[in-house]
């Protein structure tokens, strides 16, 4: 994600992000951690959906472990 995209997501400007990096590094660290957590949650959700699909197929006698 670019700084411009991040600024838009946060409702601020790229210039403010640059200022925060210098003046509020803890804030920037927390924002980055939150974004990483969101990404991890989304990936976990996708893995869970795939596991549920495998379980459903296995219980019906269908096996397709190579993916979609």
At a CB cut-off of 8 Å and minimum separation 6, what does 16 contact?
7
Predicted confidence at residue 14, as pLDDT, reads 95
Higher-pLDDT residue of 13 and 68 is 13
Q: What are phi and psi of 16, to 5 degrees?
A: -65, -40
Q: How far apart are CA 2 and CA 36, in angstroms?
A: 14
- Whether the per-residue pLDDT at 67 is higher than 60: the answer is no
Q: How far apart are CA 31 and CA 12, in angstroms?
A: 13
23-52 pLDDT, tens digit per residue, is 999 999 999 999 999 999 999 999 999 999
């Amino acid at each position: 994600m670019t700084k411009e995209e991040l600024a838009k997501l946060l409702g601020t400007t790229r210039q403010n992000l640059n200022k925060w990096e210098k003046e509020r590094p803890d804030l920037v660290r927390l924002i980055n951690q939150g974004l990483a957590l969101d990404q991890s949650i989304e990936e976990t959700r996708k893995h869970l959906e795939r596991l549920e699909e495998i379980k459903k197929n296995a219980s019906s006698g269908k096996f397709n472990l190579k993916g979609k």
